[in-house]
C-alpha cells in the first residue's frame, strides 16, 4: 500500500514512464510517413478517433471502478479480521478459567491454555497471508515475457522484496509446537485446518470444565466468523475481475493508441515547420495518459499479488500480533511494520 500523500511525477514515471520507449517511435514513424510519403489516405479525420477515445475512456472508468471495489472489499474484510482477532483473544483470556470445575487448576496451566489458543490464531493469520500470496495464473507475476519479468522486478524492488528478511521471523513454527506444525504442513489449506484445530481444542476445554456451554458457543461463533472472513478473502483471490473486462479494455486502449497519431498529427500541420515537432510529444503524451489509466486499473484488480498496490497484510498481521500478545501480558514484542520507500506491506 502506498502511504505517501501524493503519487508524485517521479513515481508515475517509474510506474509507466518506460512505455514512452515504444510510444515515441510509433508516433515518429507515423509522422514521417504522413510528412514524406505523400499518401493522403494515412491522414485520418480526427472525429472518428475522438469517438473511439471517448468510448475507451468510459470503458476504462468502469474497469477502474471495479478494480477499486475489489481492493476496497479486501481491505474491509481484513479490517473485520482485525476486529474478530481482538475479540477472540479477549474472550479466550477471560473465558478460560477454573470457575466451572471442582478441580484446582494452576494459573500457569490456565495461561498456557490461553497462550496456545492465541498463538495458534496468530499462526492462522500468517498462514492465511501466505496462502493469499500464492500467484494465480491471471496475475502479472505468472505471465510470460516482459510482463512477468517486469512484475517480478517491481515486486522485488517495491513490494515483497523489501520485507523478505523480516518475514522469516513470522514462520509458523514460531506460534505452533513442533508436532502440530508438522501435522498441519501436510494440508493444502492450512488456515482451514488451524481453525478446525481451535474448535477441537475448545471441545477439550469444555470436557475439562474450563469453559461452560455459553462460553463455548461464544468462542465457536468467533471461529465461524473467521471462516467467513477467510472465505471472502479466498473468493477475491481466486475469482478474478472477469477477463472480458480486463482484456478487452487493454485491446481497446491498444487500438486507440495505434489510431491516435494518424488523426492527431495532421491537426498540427497548419502550424508550420514547428507543428510536426510539437505533434510528436503531445500525441505520445495523450496516448500515454490512456495507457496509464489502463495500467492503474490493471495493477489494482489483484489486491494480494505482493506488489506496492497490495493490501498491507503483513502490517495488519503484525498489528494483531502485538495487540494479542500484549493481552497475554508479554513485553518482548516485535516492532510494528513501517513503510519503506513510501510503501507499507
If you write DSSP's letter for every residue of 166-204 in order, what string do you get? HHGGG-GGGTS-HHHHHHHHT-SSHHHHHHHHHHHHHHH
Mean pLDDT of the chain: 86
Q: In this predicted model, what pLDDT tens digit does every residue of 214-238 receive, in sequence order?
A: 999 999 999 999 999 999 999 999 9
Of 211, 214, 220, 202, residue with least CA distance to 101? 211
pLDDT for 118 equals 95
pLDDT for 79 equals 95
pLDDT for 121 equals 95
Question: 24-28, 106-110, 290-294, 321-325 — which is least confidently predicted?
Answer: 106-110
Q: pLDDT at residue 337 above 90?
A: no
Q: pLDDT at residue 170 above 70?
A: no
* Residue scoring higher pLDDT (102 or 293): 293
pLDDT for 305 equals 86
Phi/psi of residue 340, nearest 5 degrees: -125, 125
pTM: 0.87
pLDDT for 167 equals 60
* Rounded distance between C-alpha atoms, residue 115 and residue 96, angstroms: 11
* Rounded distance between C-alpha atoms, residue 316 and residue 125, angstroms: 9
In the predicted model, what is the mean pLDDT of residues 271-295?
Answer: 86
In the predicted model, what is the mean pLDDT of residues 58-75?
Answer: 91
* Rounded distance between C-alpha atoms, residue 50 and residue 264, angstroms: 9
* Contact assessment for residue 315 and residue 335, using Cβ atoms and an 8 Å cutoff: no
In the predicted model, what is the mean pLDDT of residues 11-20?
Answer: 82
113 Cβ neighbours under 8 A, 6+ residues apart: 96, 205, 210
The rounded percent of the chain whose pLDDT value lies above 90 is 38
In the predicted model, what is the mean pLDDT of residues 74-88?
Answer: 96
pLDDT for 137 equals 87
DSSP, res 343: B
The rounded percent of the chain whose pLDDT value lies above 70 is 96
Q: In this predicted model, what pLDDT tens digit does every residue of 103-141 receive, in sequence order?
A: 777 888 888 999 999 999 999 999 999 899 888 888 777
Q: pLDDT at residue 169 above 70?
A: no
Amino acid at each position: 500500500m502506498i502511504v505517501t500523500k501524493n503519487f508524485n511525477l517521479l513515481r508515475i514515471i517509474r510506474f509507466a514512464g518506460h512505455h514512452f520507449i515504444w510510444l515515441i517511435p510509433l508516433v515518429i514513424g507515423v509522422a514521417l510517413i504522413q510528412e514524406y510519403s505523400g499518401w493522403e489516405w494515412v491522414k485520418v479525420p480526427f472525429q472518428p478517433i475522438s469517438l473511439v477515445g471517448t468510448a475507451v475512456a468510459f470503458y476504462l472508468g468502469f474497469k477502474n471502478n471495479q478494480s477499486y471495489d475489489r481492493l476496497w472489499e479486501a481491505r474491509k474484510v481484513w479490517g473485520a479480521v482485525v476486529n474478530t482477532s481482538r475479540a477472540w483473544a479477549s474472550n479466550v483470556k477471560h473465558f478460560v478459567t477454573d470457575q466451572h470445575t471442582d478441580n484446582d487448576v494452576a494459573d500457569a496451566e490456565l495461561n498456557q491454555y490461553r497462550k496456545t489458543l492465541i498463538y495458534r490464531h496468530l499462526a492462522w493469520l500468517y498462514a492465511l497471508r501466505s496462502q493469499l500470496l500464492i500467484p494465480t495464473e491471471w496475475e502479472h507475476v505468472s505471465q510470460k515475457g516482459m510482463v512477468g519479468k517486469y512484475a517480478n522486478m517491481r515486486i522485488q524492488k517495491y513490494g515483497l522484496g523489501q520485507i523478505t528478511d523480516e518475514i522469516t521471523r513470522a514462520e509458523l513454527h514460531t506460534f505452533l509446537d513442533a508436532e502440530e506444525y508438522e501435522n498441519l504442513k501436510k494440508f493444502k489449506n492450512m488456515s482451514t485446518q488451524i481453525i478446525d484445530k481451535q474448535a477441537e481444542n475448545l471441545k477439550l476445554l469444555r470436557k475439562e470444565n474450563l469453559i461452560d456451554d455459553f462460553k463455548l458457543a461464544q468462542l465457536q461463533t468467533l471461529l465461524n466468523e473467521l471462516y467467513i472472513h477467510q472465505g471472502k478473502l479466498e473468493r477475491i483471490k481466486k475469482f478474478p475481475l472477469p477477463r472480458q473486462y480486463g482484456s478487452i479494455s487493454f485491446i481497446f486502449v491498444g487500438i486507440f493508441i495505434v489510431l491516435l497519431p494518424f488523426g492527431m498529427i495532421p491537426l498540427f500541420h497548419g502550424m508550420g515547420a514547428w507543428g510536426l515537432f510539437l505533434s510528436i510529444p503531445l500525441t505520445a503524451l495523450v496516448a500515454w495518459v490512456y495507457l496509464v489509466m489502463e495500467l492503474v486499473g490493471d495493477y489494482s484488480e489483484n489486491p494480494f499479488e505482493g506488489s506496492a498496490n497490495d493490501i498491507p497484510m503483513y502490517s495488519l498481521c503484525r498489528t494483531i500480533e502485538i495487540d494479542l500478545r500484549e493481552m497475554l501480558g508479554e513485553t518482548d514484542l516485535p516492532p510494528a511494520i513501517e513503510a519503506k520507500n513510501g510503501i507499507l506491506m
